[in-house]
A and B are shown apart, each in its own frame.
Chain A
Amino acid sequence: MPYALCFLLFMIGLYCAVVKKNMVKIVIGITVMEYAVNLFLIMLGYRFGGVAPIMEKDTLESGMQQFLNTSVDPLPQALVLTAIVISLGSLALMISICIRTYEKYGTFDITEIRRLKG
């Protein structure tokens, strides 16, 4: 069920990116989609009553087996860390294209831009 809500978020983002005509709105839609995917990946690794995959000094003493049986999955966390940075990079590039386009055309509306281009 949490997955379904996550998928709903993904679809809201997709709707925004596909339907909206404003460049900033399109960027917002893509950002929402990225959040949805990141949440989905982290959710895949969660387990009820889990602990973070970070060892303390007393973890070794109190027993590795305990840690192994309760820790959440570290691999999706590593993936999402990468994905967040990638999305930040593409956000920066997208916004710079938006600003430059605004400077050229004076509008964020893509239908308007297409009309101006002729």
Chain B
Amino acid sequence: MKGMTVIVKTIASWVKILIILFGIYIILFGHLTPGGGFAGGVILASSYVLVMLAYGREFVQKDLPLSLDSKLDCLGAFAFAMIAILGFVFGGTFFYNFLSKYGQQFKLISAGTIPLSNIAIGLKVGASLFLVIFILSTFRRDTSGSEKE
């Protein structure tokens, strides 16, 4: 698949940046406004799905290789688990919000570990959903052997 026309490609490459910015906004402000790690992560994934639809799968492979994607998936999940374990280390209890007293209410830096968890979850959800859509769409349709193992 070679992708779509030049118009679609150009627009997609600009819109991609907007979508990614929007996703990052949704993730970062998840503790103040509606949204959060999950919604933002799905938006991040959909930006790459858009690029994949416009340019074809090979292009996306160069931009975001599948091995990197699955590593991000694992690392995001692990980072979230680490936040829980750090709560154990610093606060004595699993998932203790050990930073909750820092920052100012209604400001970006507030709510302790909640924004950090949002970032970890956003990374994990974005990477994993893009991964699943990618492998679903490549299954038995290309012969280049992009599947791992």
Contact = CB atoms under 8 A, between A and B. Distances in A.
Interface in A66-95: 81, 85, 88, 92, 95
What interface size band does chain A fall in? Answer: 10 to 19
A96 interface: yes
B38 A95 contact: no
Interface residues of B, number: 12
B139 interface: yes
Contacts of A85: 38, 125
Contacts of A100: 139
Contacts of B106: 55, 57
B132 interface: yes
A99 interface: yes
Contacts of A99: 136, 139
A95 B36 CA distance: 26
5 contacts: A54-B34, A81-B38, A85-B125, A99-B136, A99-B139
